[in-house]
Amino acid sequence: MRPPLLIGIGNPARGDDGLGPALVEALQTEPGLEAIAVFQLQVEDALLLADRPAVLFVDAARPGHAGDGVQLRPISAQPDRAPISHALQPEALLAVARDVLGQAPPPAALLAIEGEHFGLGEGLSGVAAARMPVAQALVRDWLTRAVA
């Protein structure tokens, strides 16, 4: 079996939208974890989920959408009811994986990190950067449970 997978979603050229890739970069060498960054989830990414004990998606959230700034919650496969582009939500990717791989997708969770500024050409805001240690601790805790 392959290791648990962390998928950081976002565009580093759009300020706090780069929180997912920034977390991947910070945890790239974490033992027992495979971490990748993507701009957006695509149908082809379903193949990444095969033979995984668990997957964690990390994405930036708009202000007011991540509880106390960082929120980890379990998610399950849900078909995309109204696709408006070729990009998928994590729940829709789990449904594609289920249908394409012919097996239940791995247990999954979404780590939402609230951002503040999403402008083109901006780096991470101070508020978003300050949330990174909490997010890293949550990923490490999730990883411990994922391999237990």
* pLDDT on residue 81: 64
* pLDDT on residue 27: 96
Tokens in use for 23?
Answer: 């977390």
For 118, the 3-state DSSP assignment is coil
CA-CA distance, 10 to 7, in Å (whole number)? 10
Partners of residue 111 on adjacent β-strands = 58, 72
Tokens in use for 128?
Answer: 């978003």
* pLDDT on residue 135: 96
Residues with pLDDT less than 70, the chain: 65-67, 81-86
CA separation (Å) from 54 to 18, 47, 57, 128, 142? 23, 14, 10, 26, 9
State the total domains in the chain.
1
Can you give the CATH number for the domain in which 27 is found? 3.40.50.1450
pLDDT in tens, 14-55: 999 999 999 999 999 999 999 999 999 999 999 999 999 999
- Domain limits for position 120: 5-146
Q: Which alpha helices (DSSP H) does 36-86 contain, by range?
A: none
Check if the beta carbon of residue 58 is closer than 8 Å to that of residue 21: no
* pLDDT on residue 79: 81
Q: How many CB atoms within 10 Å of residue 140? A: 12
* pLDDT on residue 147: 85
